[in-house]
Amino acid sequence: MTTQTAPNQAPPAHFGILQIVNGAYVAGAVSCLAQFGIPDLLEDGAKSAEELAVETGAQPEALYRLMRATACVGVLAEGSDKKFSQTPMSAVLRTNAKPSLRGLAIMTGREWHERGWSKLEYCVRTGKQAIDEIYGMTIFEYLKQNPEESRIFDEAMTGLSSIDGPAVADGYNFTGIHNIVDVAGGRGLLLAMLLERNAHLKGTLYEVPHVLEGAKTGPLKPYMDRCTLTSGDMFSSVPAGADAYIMKHIIHDWPDDACIKILSACRQGVNPGGNLLVVDSVIQPGNDFSPGKFLDLQMVILPGGRERTEPEFRELLEASGWKLSRIIPTAAGDSIVEGVLA
C-alpha cells in the first residue's frame, strides 16, 4: 500500500520516519555490495547476477536481490535484460576509484561497527563507550589486535582523506610555513597533498610505529626527500621546531582532557609565531541538517570524543596555550580551526 499526498502537501510524519529507519537497510546493502567487490567487477561492462555469482562465490538469486535493491537507490542500474551496469555512485565504490569509498562502505557493515551502534542506548545512558563494553578495550586497542579490521579502517580513513585532504590543501595558505608536522596523520595522504602543492614545504609525519610501517611505501614515497617519519606518544610530546602542527580528524576522537595534552605538546614544540591547524567539523547552532551532528554520535559510541562548536574549540585552545584566530570552512564540509600563540 502506497502513501499518496495531494500536490504541495507535505507527506505524513510516519512516512518521513520510515524513510529514516529504512536508511539502515540501505547502508547495509551498499556495504555488502562493496564487500563482494561488485563495482570492481563491472568496470568492463554490464553483467548478470549469475555471471557475478560465479566470480564472487555468491548464491545467484540472493545476489540478484541484493543488486536489485541497491539499484533502486542509484548504486548500480538494472537493464531490461536483468544485467547490471555501473552508475556514478557505484563507481565510487571501486577499489581504484579516486576517491574510493569502498573501505568506508565495508567498515560500516563490520561486526564491531554495527555492534557499536546497537549499543547507542547504553552509551547515552552511561556516557561510556560501546567498544569498551563489548570487547573490554578501546577501539584503537581492538584495531591493533585485529589486523584485518585495522586494514579496513585505514582504507576507510584514506578514502575520506582523498576527499577532504585536497579541500584542506586548497583552503589554507601555507606560504609562510616552512616546516609542518602532521600529528597522527595515518599513512600520510594529507601531508603528501600539502607537499605536492607547496614545493617550499618540509613535513614530518608523526604516528605510532605500526602505522608508520605502512606509510613508508604510501603516498609520501615521492616526497621523502622533504619528509621525515617519526613515531612517539602525542599525549606527552611531538617533534619540536615546526612552524605549524596540523591534525585532521584527531582532536574529535578524544575528550577535552586528552586534547589539552595533545595541544599543549604542540604549543611547547612550535616555533615562535607558529600556528595550530585543527581540521574537524564545527557544529553550528540551529536545526539544519548536519552530518557533523551524527558523526558526533559516532564519537559517543567510539572512541569517546566529540564534534565541537566554535565556543568549545575556543575554550579548548585557550586551555592549551593557544588562541583561536579564525575558522575556515572547506569545500569538503570540514573546517580548519586556526590557533595562534596566546
Catalytic residues: 252
**Three-state secondary-structure class, residue 48:** strand
Under DSSP, is residue 229 helix (H, G, I), strand (E, B) or coil?
strand
DSSP letter at 129? -
DSSP state, residue 10: P
User: Three-state SS across 66-111?
Assistant: HHHHHHCCCCCEECCCCEEECCHHHHCCCCCCCCCCHHHHHHHCCH
Cα–Cα distances in angstroms (integers) from residue 132 to residues 45, 122, 151, 196, 267, in the given order: 45, 11, 20, 39, 31
DSSP letters for 142-205: HHHH-HHHHHHHHHHHHHHHHHHHHHHHHHS--TT-SEEEEET-TTSHHHHHHHHH-TT-EEEE
Alpha helices in 109-146 (DSSP H): 111-118, 120-126, 130-135, 139-145
Query: Is 66 within 8 Å of 29 (Cβ atoms)?
Result: yes
At residue 323, the 3 state secondary structure works out as strand
